Chains A and B, each alone.
Chain A
Amino acid sequence: MSSRKPSNSRQQADEVTSSVATTAVTEQEASDLLTAEELHAEHEQRKEDQKGRIEATDRELLLHLLYQMVLIRRFEEKAAEAYSLGKIGGFCHLYIGQEAVAVGAISAIRPDDYVITSYRDHGHALAKGMSAEEIMAELYGKAGGCSAGKGGSMHLFDASVNFLGGHAIVGGQIPLATGIAFATKYRNEDKVTLCFFGEAAVNQGSFNESLNMAQLWKLPCVYICENNQYGMGTSLARAMSLQDIARKACAYGMASEFVDGMDVLAVREATLRAVERARTESLPTLLEVRTYRYMGHSMSDPGNYRTRAEIERYQQRDPIKLLSASMREKGLLDDETMKQIEQRVHEEIERAVRFAEESPLPAPEELYTDVYANPIKS
């Protein structure tokens, strides 16, 4: 989607979009509108749900999940700042609001399992254990970047942690994930592949073709649809005839679950179930994780297609806010610990920025390296 619309046509496109979107948002809001009291009640309910899970979870792990979500949040804020300063170019799709999905899901797998995702990939890369330094340097287009400055924001890769990339054609990574899962099964490995994609990718043929083959051949892949409710500027209601994405799995006879994407523990638990199914039965699962992105589709997106009120409503359900509140109520988090987490994150982000700033630009001759693994002089 990132490359769908050339920037010079965006104004015109937005005019068309927003005129239609206004009605769509209104319709959606009508069904979704909650009063202040209802919102509060919902938050309390989520906390209650989460507290049950917290009791079953080790505190160190909780702190780790919290730390990772804060790290992603602050990293993305820093990236936005660097983008506005012109340090980062091109497209930059931020993950703010969706942190619970990557952090919760990736906490459910082993380090040798595979993760592949779309162009909105900073959060997954950090959650999979890639260094913030190399990611930031990649965003800066520097030689020290994880992809040597050739991939940029949308193409983070790190073979050493089995992070197989951000992919920038909507739905393009879904067949790749299927192939990675195919390879692990082919080699009788018990590795699992997590494949993240947005809800708009579900409309692509690659989704249908891949899920069909995955179930047909019983491939150990977990398809995680991050339903943030907007395909760029087009709301789900305007783009998808059947909006219950989890239900689409029945077309393939595949297991599926609907998951609250604002609750990191809910995501983790659902993923654990799916991973268990993949690892022990070699079966795929489709997870629809309902989430929300606070920011525009990319840095050049003013987000005119939705109301401020809608964004604020979702910010009430913020995954970091939710987890920290639940932990506080359970006596597992205090101001001091939270301060320490923020401090650690701050230091890591500062290190990342420093590394990116200091890393050299790729050498001109790098333009022609790695075009072929086995170049033949012609």
Chain B
Amino acid sequence: MPLITMREALNQALREEMRRDESVFLMGEEVGAYEGAYKVSRGLLAEFGPKRVIDTPISELGFAGLGVGAAMVGLRPVIEFMTFNFSILATDQIINSAAKMLYMSGGQFKIPIVFRGPNGSAYQVSSQHSQALESWYAHFPGLKVVMPSTPADAKGLLKSAIRDDDPVIFMEQERMYGMKGEVPEDEDFIIPLGVADIKREGTDVTIVARSLMVPVALRAAEELEKEGISCEVIDPRTIRPLDIETIVNSVKKTNRVVIAEESHPFCGVGAEISAEIIERAFDYLDAPPRRVSGADAPMPYAKNLEALAIPDVQRIVAAVREVTYTA
């Protein structure tokens, strides 16, 4: 299998799905002539033309809602947010329109749309451009939330998301666009939504990580292996619907769990996973579930403070030692 970047994998997924289905179009700020702020849409304008690769004004609410309207009558829009920070402007359309349309119309109007873009921390861009918003969207029934952590997952999941009949929030990570991995070239390669992936098998502790935290957790697992602590790293990949079965089964085996996330801890996805584990596997726990989250503060600009705000290998290792009583 060819070794390609996350950026290229996403590009392949978009290209293949646009070739496959005429009703798929890509819309967002700088997706066309500029080929994407992060170059995910490189070459797409040239191949598909301005009808299907559409540069928008800076109007997040407007073009998000436009996408939802187009989906109401059968198109399959892929709406790119230059970053998910800007999706905050569009939340009315995502939450009040996209998530609820099928329900409040009594099942008449499905919304096959993908909202995608980078989420989470970037490099020294301070508070408004460096935040993880998955818990916002995962809160709402009607939305699906996907967060890939490898180029192959990114491709397979984005293809599934585009083919899905429900609104999907597809969250990439700016720091991971250049990450390389083996990606199948097969045009029918898809990864179903709602299925977690065990990125590494282990017996002593389960580390649940998503997006940027997956490679960090895997490095932590390598370090801990040297001390004889065997970590199982699970990437849910889809946050909603969450494959809690896989997580709970792992925790039943290991009896300990650490949840690593970039987002703020309060009311976060980690809190939800923790609650689910306690409800479903209480009798199997040997230690309280431990979250390793981003700082409970806006993202600072200063490099040293920024590093402190994002979970790293050391913090995950420390948490694992804590729950395995090996500190």
A: residues with CB less than 8 A from B are: 114, 116, 145-151, 155, 157-159, 164-165, 167-169, 172, 174-184, 186-187, 205-206, 208-210, 212-213, 216-217, 369-378
Q: Which of B104, B111, B164 has the most CB of A within 10 A?
A: B104
Q: Which A residue's beta carbon lies closest to that of B113?
A: A179
Q: Are A148 and B106 in contact, with the CB atoms below 8 A?
A: yes
**Shortest distance between the CB of B259 and any CB in chain A (Å):** 17
Q: Which B residue's beta carbon lies closest to that of A378?
A: B241
Select A184's contact among B73, B96, B101, B244, beta carbons within 8 Å: B73
User: Can you offer 27 A-B residue contacts whose CB atoms are under 8 A?
Assistant: A148-B106, A149-B106, A150-B105, A150-B106, A151-B105, A157-B109, A159-B105, A164-B73, A164-B109, A167-B97, A169-B96, A172-B93, A172-B97, A174-B65, A175-B61, A178-B65, A179-B72, A180-B72, A182-B66, A184-B73, A210-B66, A212-B57, A371-B141, A371-B142, A373-B110, A376-B193, A378-B240
* Residue B2 interfacial (CB < 8 Å): no
Cα-based distance from A216 to B245 in the complex (angstroms): 49
A contact residues around B104 at 8 Å (CB): 147, 150-151, 155, 157, 165
Cα-based distance from A205 to B90 in the complex (angstroms): 11
Q: Which B residue's beta carbon lies closest to that of A204?
A: B61
Q: How many A-B residue pairs have CB under 8 A?
A: 162
B contact residues around A184 at 8 Å (CB): 73
> Given A175-B68, A374-B164, does the pair A183, B74 have CB atoms closer than 8 Å?
yes
Q: Are B103 and A179 in contact, with the CB atoms below 8 A?
A: no
**Shortest distance between the CB of A34 and any CB in chain B (Å):** 40
Q: Are B57 and A183 in contact, with the CB atoms below 8 A?
A: no
Q: Which A residue's beta carbon lies closest to that of B163?
A: A374
Q: Are A378 and B69 in contact, with the CB atoms below 8 A?
A: no
Select A176's contact among B97, B102, B238, B243, beta carbons within 8 Å: B97
A contact residues around B110 at 8 Å (CB): 373
Cα-based distance from A176 to B109 in the complex (angstroms): 13
Report the 7 A-B pairs with minimum CB-CB distance, sorted nearest first: A179-B69, A175-B65, A209-B62, A148-B106, A378-B241, A176-B69, A157-B105
B contact residues around A376 at 8 Å (CB): 144, 192-194, 238, 241
B: residues with CB less than 8 A from A are: 25, 51, 54, 56-57, 59, 61-75, 77, 92-93, 96-97, 101-112, 141-142, 144, 164-166, 192-194, 238, 240-245
> Given A186-B75, A209-B61, does the pair A148, B70 have CB atoms closer than 8 Å?
no
Select B102's contact among A172, A180, A208, A370, beta carbons within 8 Å: A370
A contact residues around B242 at 8 Å (CB): 378
Cα-based distance from A202 to B119 in the complex (angstroms): 32
Select B65's contact among A114, A210, A371, beta carbons within 8 Å: A210
Cα-based distance from A167 to B97 in the complex (angstroms): 8
B contact residues around A167 at 8 Å (CB): 97
Select A183's contact among B69, B92, B105, B244, beta carbons within 8 Å: B69
Cα-based distance from A149 to B71 in the complex (angstroms): 23
Cα-based distance from A206 to B193 in the complex (angstroms): 32
B contact residues around A180 at 8 Å (CB): 69-70, 72-73
**Shortest distance between the CB of A208 and any CB in chain B (Å):** 8
Q: Are A216 and B70 in contact, with the CB atoms below 8 A?
A: no
Select A172's contact among B51, B92, B105, beta carbons within 8 Å: B92
B contact residues around A116 at 8 Å (CB): 69
**Shortest distance between the CB of B178 and any CB in chain A (Å):** 31
A contact residues around B165 at 8 Å (CB): 373-374
Q: Are A372 and B61 in contact, with the CB atoms below 8 A?
A: no
B contact residues around A186 at 8 Å (CB): 25, 51, 70, 75
Cα-based distance from A322 to B63 in the complex (angstroms): 41
Q: Which B residue's beta carbon lies closest to that of A169?
A: B96
Cα-based distance from A213 to B63 in the complex (angstroms): 8
B contact residues around A169 at 8 Å (CB): 92, 96
Q: Which A residue's beta carbon lies closest to that of B54?
A: A217
Q: Which A residue's beta carbon lies closest to that of B60?
A: A209
Q: Which A residue's beta carbon lies closest to that of B164?
A: A374
Q: Which B residue's beta carbon lies closest to that of A162?
A: B73
Cα-based distance from A159 to B238 in the complex (angstroms): 31
> Given A176-B72, A183-B75, does the pair A206, B62 have CB atoms closer than 8 Å?
yes
B contact residues around A149 at 8 Å (CB): 106
Cα-based distance from A373 to B143 in the complex (angstroms): 11
Cα-based distance from A178 to B57 in the complex (angstroms): 14
Cα-based distance from A177 to B101 in the complex (angstroms): 14
Cα-based distance from A377 to B192 in the complex (angstroms): 12
**Shortest distance between the CB of B165 and any CB in chain A (Å):** 4
**Shortest distance between the CB of A205 and any CB in chain B (Å):** 6
Q: Are A164 and B72 in contact, with the CB atoms below 8 A?
A: yes
Q: Which B residue's beta carbon lies closest to that of A158?
A: B108
Cα-based distance from A175 to B61 in the complex (angstroms): 8
Q: Which B residue's beta carbon lies closest to that of A193?
A: B69
A contact residues around B244 at 8 Å (CB): 378
Q: Are A147 and B102 in contact, with the CB atoms below 8 A?
A: no
Cα-based distance from A236 to B281 in the complex (angstroms): 58
B contact residues around A155 at 8 Å (CB): 104-105
**Shortest distance between the CB of A168 and any CB in chain B (Å):** 8
A contact residues around B51 at 8 Å (CB): 186
B contact residues around A212 at 8 Å (CB): 57, 59, 62
Q: Which of A158, A213, A370 has the most CB of B within 10 A?
A: A370
Q: Are B107 and A378 in contact, with the CB atoms below 8 A?
A: no
Q: Given A179-B71, A373-B102, A373-B166, output 15 extra A-B contacts at Cβ < 8 Å.
A: A147-B108, A150-B103, A151-B104, A157-B106, A159-B109, A164-B73, A172-B97, A174-B65, A175-B63, A178-B62, A179-B67, A371-B102, A371-B142, A376-B238, A377-B194
A contact residues around B63 at 8 Å (CB): 175, 209, 213
Cα-based distance from A217 to B54 in the complex (angstroms): 10
> Given A210-B65, A376-B241, does the pair A370, B103 have CB atoms closer than 8 Å?
yes
> Given A372-B166, A373-B102, A378-B243, does the pair A159, B108 have CB atoms closer than 8 Å?
yes
Q: Are B108 and A369 in contact, with the CB atoms below 8 A?
A: no
Cα-based distance from A169 to B101 in the complex (angstroms): 13
